Chains A and B, each alone.
Chain A
Amino acid sequence: EAGVTQSPTHLIKTRGQQATLRCSPISGHTSVYWYQQALGLGLQFLLWYDEGEERNRGNFPPRFSGRQFPNYSSELNVNALELEDSALYLCASRGRGIPLEQYFGPGTRLTVT
């Protein structure tokens, strides 16, 4: 069974540009979560999508947005990039109901210069 996949692996952007990160969940999983892992700050919850709808978002500005497609894959968009957006962005997926564990992808390393 294929795991969670993310693309691209690395992304380099300049300040003010937009970044788009993609995630494909495990087959059969309907929920996708996005996290930001900046150096020294642990995992910060960004967004949760389930069945195509945004269900919850963390304490991030509106320039962080995303969507979930009918095939349950997801996209994270970051507009007006700032230097502090440089981080590892992790996507996780979860199946329906119990259990509640999330399965993580390898991440996208975003560097803003």
Chain B
Amino acid sequence: AQSVTQLGSHVSVSEGALVLLRCNYSSSVPPYLFWYVQYPNQGLQLLLKYTSAATLVKGINGFEAEFKKSETSFHLTKPSAHMSDAAEYFCAVSREANDMRFGAGTRLTVKP
């Protein structure tokens, strides 16, 4: 069975600092991987997805993630945090239509 683990339920960075949100997956075969963002009292918005075309994936709002098979990781990064990035971020893994698994989420706080 596949699953994802997000390391750190809360991450705090200063405005302008690097954002690094960690996600590790377990899957018996190469999966599809996703990052979603959720702003307060809203649904989830797709940030980016990995579908084996390229290991470095660029998403919206300046975010990107790198698929590292040897480390079974799919960490999300952004070079310079903005106040508007404060939200909850979910990593998800899927291999089949009926089986998308979400991580527990990481709440990002951006300090002025």
Chain A positions within 8 Å of B, measured between CB atoms, are 4, 6, 31, 33, 42-43, 45, 48, 50, 55-56, 88, 90, 92, 94, 98-107, 109
Chain B residues within 8 Å of A33, by CB: 100
B10: shortest Cβ distance to chain A, in Å? 12
19 of the cross-chain contacts (CB-CB < 8 Å) are: A4-B43, A42-B90, A43-B44, A48-B98, A50-B97, A56-B98, A92-B43, A99-B32, A99-B51, A100-B97, A101-B32, A102-B100, A103-B46, A104-B36, A104-B43, A104-B45, A105-B43, A106-B43, A107-B41
From B41, B51, B97, give the contact of A94 (CB < 8 A).
B97
Give the complex CA separation of A10 and B96 in angstroms.
32
Tell yes or no: B74 within 8 A of A by CB.
no
| B105 engages A42 (CB within 8 Å) | yes
Give the complex CA separation of A88 and B70 in angstroms.
37
| B43 engages A43 (CB within 8 Å) | no
Q: Mark out the residues of chain B between 67 and 112 whose CB falls within 8 Å of any chain A CB in the assembled complex.
A: 90, 94, 96-98, 100, 102-105
Give the complex CA separation of A99 and B31 in angstroms.
12
Chain B positions within 8 Å of A, measured between CB atoms, are 32, 34, 36, 41-46, 49, 51, 90, 94, 96-98, 100, 102-105
| B105 engages A107 (CB within 8 Å) | no
| B51 engages A55 (CB within 8 Å) | no
Chain A residues within 8 Å of B105, by CB: 42-43
Give the complex CA separation of A6 and B98 in angstroms.
21
B9: shortest Cβ distance to chain A, in Å? 10
Closest to B31 in A: A100
B1: shortest Cβ distance to chain A, in Å? 13
| A104 engages B44 (CB within 8 Å) | yes
B5: shortest Cβ distance to chain A, in Å? 12
Give the complex CA separation of A97 and B38 in angstroms.
25
From A6, A92, A109, give the contact of B41 (CB < 8 A).
A109
